[in-house]
Amino acid sequence: MPANLENLAVATGLKRSVFIPIPKKGNAKECSNYHTIALISHVSKVMLKILRARLQQYVNHELPDVQAGFRKGRGTRDQIANIRWIMEKAREFQKNMYFCFIDYAKAFDCVDHNKLWKILKEVGIPDHLTCLLINLYAGQEATVETGHRTTDWFQIGKGVRQGCILSPCLFNLYAEYIMRNAGLEEAQAGIKIARRNINNLRYAFDTTLMAESKEELKSLLMKVKVESEKVGLTLNIQKMKIMASGPITSWEIDGETVQT
């Protein structure tokens, strides 16, 4: 990609999105009972495909094998099979197993842009690609379509772009930054099988932490919680679950009980 593109001013029309709310189950008068799809410019998609091809090579180099989210040839079935294999081996070697299934509150919507640019620099994304992304994100606008009407355009200053093919790559790097700073790769806590210590499996922001004792598991969880909050992500305690092969009492985090 030519170096002069780093100074490219992305046209406003390429930054605009139309949000269409789709009702979930429950009270249709509650905003929380809707999810949205985002429509973006077809012209912008051409630029985004080129940018993704350049960005992907760096993303693949940075992500570990435990991350299967939005990666070619990988999927949720792989992680389900991995967890099943870990459980079978743990039983074979008579090891205790403790799992924590982490959930974030509106993870994609809470990504801090300034922290994202800092992370891209730290992981070695070239400056001209980062500048293009900064220009793409600066001055984003959106409108909400309701029936045959749309709202006034409003600014978006947080989160990765909905409907954008770059968002999975960017979020994977954001999540990887959290896990590295939490020290999961170097941690002694985990389930030790076949000369390996495994303490997490991931699909984008859906993360499973695992250990051989509840104390080790809680230690891993608190490290992830602290590092997540540093970059603006909050654990959704109410939707998290603990699964254990041995006895376990209920956990409380910030006054909220984690389901077991």
pTM score > 0.85 for this model?
Answer: yes
Amino acid letter, 95: K
Classify residue 5 by its DSSP letter.
Answer: G
Cβ atoms of 201 and 66 closer than 8 Å: yes
Domain that holds residue 99: 3-246
Is 254 part of a structural domain of the chain?
A: no
Is 213 part of a structural domain of the chain?
A: yes
pLDDT at residue 7 in the model: 52
Is 258 part of a structural domain of the chain?
A: no
Cβ atoms of 6 and 128 closer than 8 Å: yes
- DSSP-H helix ranges across 205-244: 214-230
How confident is the model over 222-237, as pLDDT tens digits? Answer: 999 999 999 999 999 9
pLDDT at residue 257 in the model: 84
Question: Domain tally for the chain?
Answer: 1
Rounded distance, CA 119 to CA 98, Å? 31
Is 251 part of a structural domain of the chain?
A: no
Is 257 part of a structural domain of the chain?
A: no
Is 255 part of a structural domain of the chain?
A: no
Cβ atoms of 208 and 217 closer than 8 Å: no
How confident is the model over 192-214, as pLDDT tens digits? Answer: 988 889 999 999 889 999 999 98
How confident is the model over 14-61, as pLDDT tens digits? Answer: 889 999 988 888 787 788 788 889 999 888 899 899 999 999 889 988
> Which residue in 8, 24, 48 sits closest to 161, CA to CA?
48
Is 137 part of a structural domain of the chain?
A: yes
Is 259 part of a structural domain of the chain?
A: no
What's the whole-number average pLDDT of the chain? 89
Q: Which residue has the tokens 């974030």?
A: 104
Q: Where are the beta strands (DSSP E) in 137-258?
A: 141-146, 149-150, 154-155, 191-193, 196-198, 200-203, 206-211, 241-244, 251-253, 256-258
